[in-house]
Structure 1
């Protein structure tokens, strides 16, 4: 029987000769080399596996339960720790500008994709909104003269807007497709679009329109524009639904623009539109989606005043149209409360907190200082025009004007119910003197020095 173990370079050696011994030594060395190579390969594979697992585990730990990479930064921080204030402050003027033919949009919001943020500071703010489940997103919308924010709707949020500048014509279409509400809005007034209502905004003035918009979601905002839906619908389906003369052939004459038309302004608009009308619907329809905040009653406090666009349990102070708006807010789920806050020069909006709402604000004019206290965190920082601020529910906060001019903010609160607030002066006044004396190691007589007068 042939024995291949004794073959070397084609020569066979009988048993007991030197050939097989040398071959055995070589074979042993070869086996040792193979063993060492396998051992090395196993070691390398194990190290790579551990590193990969660590990276995956680290990435997973930085994702929120809904899949957003909210704990990651868009660029390495090189050991730099972000200032905690960016959990509560967004310098919106520095954020990414989304440009369209008819205008621009900027956002202070949570994003699932890190590349959609412009900086680590924006990531921190968006992450804070999401972690606190704030029910808040903020954006600014600028529309050029004759520009149009295309008809659209939001899957997952109500929208509340404040017109800072300009004049616009608004359309809203709810569940009943036989009722389309249209109305005109000017600076200082509020618009309201419930979730899934189709709505559009057309600039009908000579200057740019600037809308300040709040949306009732802390997740990525989900929106559908009418033109996108049209082009995503099969041609034969669109033809059967819309029934144009010529059927599918007519539908095929529509060409999708290469550029996103979210804010639309065709260069040949005058050739396309010959007769534009801007109708005004009856008040009982309009005031479901509109509120004249600028013309509403002021709610004063020492150092400033509020004006409110909100639901009120006691509607005796509201006129008929304002009651329509109040009831409309309360009818829909997860709506917001809006307000303007004016604080006179060097005056204070005293420390307070809200039981039932997160708060978000945008600085319209002036400059100020803000303080926030929540569990394990206390921070004070300055604010200026264009800044966005955020106060989680239950966090104590104050706002102080530090300029010669008054500080003016637009505020939103994440509740469609009546806002519930407690101020520092109230809870100090409501706590027994002997409890405060024991807590602060102060004589009871000294505690009595705190003012006991009522203060809003």
Structure 2
């Protein structure tokens, strides 16, 4: 019987040895082509899979690196990577200024406790925590120390985004302030314990006219990076022909071209050949009605005693009763300008307490001048942070945050404090709100009999 299948698939070749049939040449070729296609596809799949795994690995590594390096908050401020070592919460309220970078100049030096846009400019994680804190709380406060050598000059300059309030801790200085519109120049002398004030965008300078270093403790009304321009930088940034036409010197633009910009920053200036450059100098003081807009004799002001210490204030007061005429000028000047500060010195006697309190209308920042103490803060979440403070430390208490200060050594604790208000400071102490709460309310929340609350003595105002 004929094999129809054989006829359909064509002739087969018999193996001479075993009698087996072998595929024809064309069929072997077709089977090998299918095998090659299968191998190519398999290879392509392996290569594609490998590439995919490699890409995913690179993306993961890159993303992880970015997260580790910096994470961005909604307000645009950068923060530390989440897997970094945690920073003690106390550094939201404490800055060890003595550990910060010293900016050295020919005539002195500057140190900062401030927020920085570039996180790489912080010296350490603790400093960054403080900078982020004052920025996140919109504190309107930055602190710095300015040291000026004898005959040194903080060159004329102005701040675009902040008023400046300063306290002279040491030395003797001559101050110049150039007012707006009529360009009235006010000059005055300050000694240790006195306060200076420069409104935003007001050109001012400070010259050390004593034999010892001047040390200024400075507060600025911004939580952003301070924006400052020195007069010499403004001069050299102005085209020569424009400067010549504006200043009209003899010799015109050729004279302007004789000015040479110094290689190093002249922020605190002290030329080595100063005696050759300056033949005569006077340090006159302007009339009181001008001076007291920018000056306050804090050291000579009234002392306000409380159990455990003394306050002295450079501030605005709604009720000017008791202020002399010059003090009234300063009080009104603070209130007239926008976003000014209240300054005070606080002395807490040895081993005494500045009791827990908070401020309704101001953040508080302070610098420890002498002594040693302890600060305590209760945050809005109820968390408690207490830490020791010493000379050169900067502290910060956000508005509404209850806090206390106490002296913990044999020496008085002395601080210069600034509050972010040019209005009258509003404060509530623990004794005030505790005694102002009805006994039956206290009994209910503390689970104690009402009569027991008579054991708390009421303080006298």
| 2:248 corresponds to which of 243, 247, 271 | 243
What per-residue deviation string (whole Å, max 9, x for no partner) do you get for residues 154-208 of structure 1? Answer: 1110000000000111011121243111111111100000000001000000000
1:246 Cα deviation after fit: 2.2
| Residue correspondence of structure 1 range 431-446 to structure 2 within 5 A | 431-446=437-452
Aligned to 2:321: 316
Residue 39 (str. 1) matches residue 49 (str. 2) = yes
Counterparts of 2:197 and 2:55, CA distance in 1: 59
1:221 aligns with 2:226: yes
Map of 1:391 onto structure 2: 397
- Paired with 2:49 and 2:410, the residues of 1 have a C-alpha distance of 76
Q: Aligned residue for 1:72?
A: 80
**CA 1:339 to 1:279, structure 2 compared with 1: closer, same or farther past 3 Å?**
same
- Where does residue 4 of structure 1 map in the other structure? none
Q: What CA distance in whole angstroms lies between the structure 2 residues aligned with 1:179 and 1:259?
A: 31
Structure 2 CA distance for aligned equivalents of residues 309 and 262 of structure 1: 28
With over 3 angstroms needed to count, the CA separation of the structure-2 counterparts of 1:17 and 1:252, relative to structure 1, is farther
- Whether the aligned pair in 2 keeps the contact of 1:68 and 1:111 (CA below 8 Å) is no
| Aligned positions, number | 437
- Which has the larger displacement, 311-320 or 372-381? 372-381
Task: Name the counterpart of 2:193.
Answer: 188
2:350 pairs, out of 338, 345, 350, with 345
Q: CA offsets per residue over residues 285-344 of structure 1, 9 Å max, x none? A: 110000000111111111111110000000011100000000000001100000001111
> 1:409 deviation in Å?
0.7
Conserved 8 A contact 2:71-2:80 = no
Aligned-residue CA RMSD in angstroms? Answer: 2.0
Partners of 1:447 and 1:429 in 2: how far apart?
9
Equivalent position SS for 2:346:
strand
Q: Quick check: 1:68–1:113 contact (8 Å CA) kept in 2? A: no
Pick the structure with greater CA Rg: 2
Equivalent-residue separation in structure 2 for 1:58 and 1:209 (angstroms): 43
Contact kept? 2:368, 2:414, Cα under 8 Å: yes
Aligned equivalents of 2:74 and 2:423: distance in 1? 29
In structure 1, runs of 5+ residues without a counterpart are 1-13
- Within 5 Å, give how 1:305-384 maps onto structure 2: 305-376=310-381, 377-384=383-390
Helix, strand or coil at the partner of 1:16 = helix
Give the stretch that moved more between structures: 137-146 or 105-114. 105-114
DSSP 3-state at the match of 1:48: helix
Q: Is the 8 A contact 2:116 2:122 kept in 1?
A: yes
1:268 paired residue among 247, 269, 273? 273
Which deviates further from its counterpart, 240-249 or 137-146?
Answer: 240-249
1:103: which partner in 2? Answer: 108
Of residues 138, 147, 155, the one that matches 1:150 is: 155
Corresponding position of 2:430: 424
Counterpart residue number, 2:15: none
Give how far 1:39 is off.
3.0
C-alpha distance in structure 2 between counterparts of 1:84 and 1:344, whole Å? 28
User: C-alpha deviations, 1:27-72, integer Å up to 9, x for none?
Assistant: 432233123212322333244335545655676743461x332x22
CA distance in 2 between partners of 1:138 and 1:178 (Å)? 28
C-alpha offsets along residues 370-409 of structure 1, whole Å, 9 cap, x if unaligned? 1111222211111111111111111111111122121111
Structure-2 separation of matches of 1:358 and 1:324:
25
Q: Shift in Å at residue 253 of structure 1? A: 1.4
Aligned counterpart for 2:39 among listed residues 29, 43, 46 = 29
Moved over 6 A (4+): 57-60
- SS for the counterpart of 1:134 is coil
Deviation at 1:250, TM superposition (A): 1.6
Q: Which runs of 5+ in 2 are unaligned?
A: 1-23
In 2, the alpha carbon distance for the partners of 1:21 and 1:274 equals 106
Partner of residue 72, structure 2: 62
Instruction: Give the Å deviation of 1:21.
Output: 4.4
Which residue in 2 is equivalent to 1:283? 288
SS across alignment from 2:299: coil
- Which deviates more from structure 2 when the two are superposed, residues 36-45 or residues 205-214? 36-45
2-structure distance, mates of 1:378, 1:418: 28
Provide the C-alpha distance between the structure 2 equivalents of 1:309 and 1:450, rounded to a whole number of angstroms.
33
Distance in 2, Cα, partners of 1:178 & 1:131:
37
1-side partners of 2:28 and 2:278: how far apart? 104
